[in-house]
Structure 1
């Protein structure tokens, strides 16, 4: 008897946990699809009851000035007495009339073609070219005073290229002398000037020109030569 009662209770619990399967043909949120179509048609008819008026039916009358409700409105009298040329923002003011400003004669092809011609422009250009003044390069001025060797003049006087041996050099401990003495100058121009002041390019007591081209350390005469030759 207990087993039968237990079985009945178990079947009842399973039936309560198993939900009913909905009918897919009934639709979602309504009874069936036919009822949905009827409700949708009624809704569309209600929404489409007020059609938009045609463009010509819109009135062109000027709106009356809004009453003061926390926002200041400009009256017609204030707008008429305003001499600043600024149109006040008010519904009572008429829309400003926009006028075409046009373009200047300089940018107007029709106007310019009536005043100038291709031949006239060519003659004017030739006249301007005759007034050009070509300044020829001149020799460098001689430095006055005791300012030390002129590395620019030396670069122009020397005819050999960088790395081309011209002078005899002592190769004993040449690499160490080169690194030590060249490291004491802030620029290659200063090194070349000190090299010339110390007897260079014929003599190289400090080993600043180990290849014998007459140019100390990393100094290169090419920039000075290119500046003169153009």
Structure 2
């Protein structure tokens, strides 16, 4: 009786133990195993020339020929309809890298000059043609003879350039007498209305300068209003 009870207890304990899945189960075997994809076969990557065989599934078409080289026809046969359409729409033929591939054909670009290519230039130009081209260019030369400069009209008023070339003394040299008090303050006030010193000198000459200074633009009597400097014009004429 005790032996019978012990056998029954061992059987009950064995029935309670979890079932350990087979190591090959769950891979390519739907409905078996835990933590494995039970609907999709998993392919094992293969070396080039060796077909890839999914565990528990059907082997895909090989992309290698009998001698182990890549066969594009076999590759196309192994692609589905969408993949074939994508490859056909690429617009380019697939080129597989191989030492036996021929060298690519050189395509001439007409936009690039061939002046540095001796053979190309020599094929279309000779010493005689160069001589004829030089003679043609010389025949088109046109020599323009210089003409006299037009005379300046006095309608535009005094000319500061002409005045600068007529004078020789530097700034600050008193040439003309000046009367009045507060000459510097008056000059600063009246010179502020001009945009530049050339404009001030032109107006100064137009109002009777350099002998007369009605607006007090030249208190030191050097004949240059508002600090105008004739030196740049003199240097330009000398050069």
Query: Structure 1 or 2: larger helix share?
Result: 1
Q: Which has the higher contact order (CA 8 A, sep 6+)?
A: 1
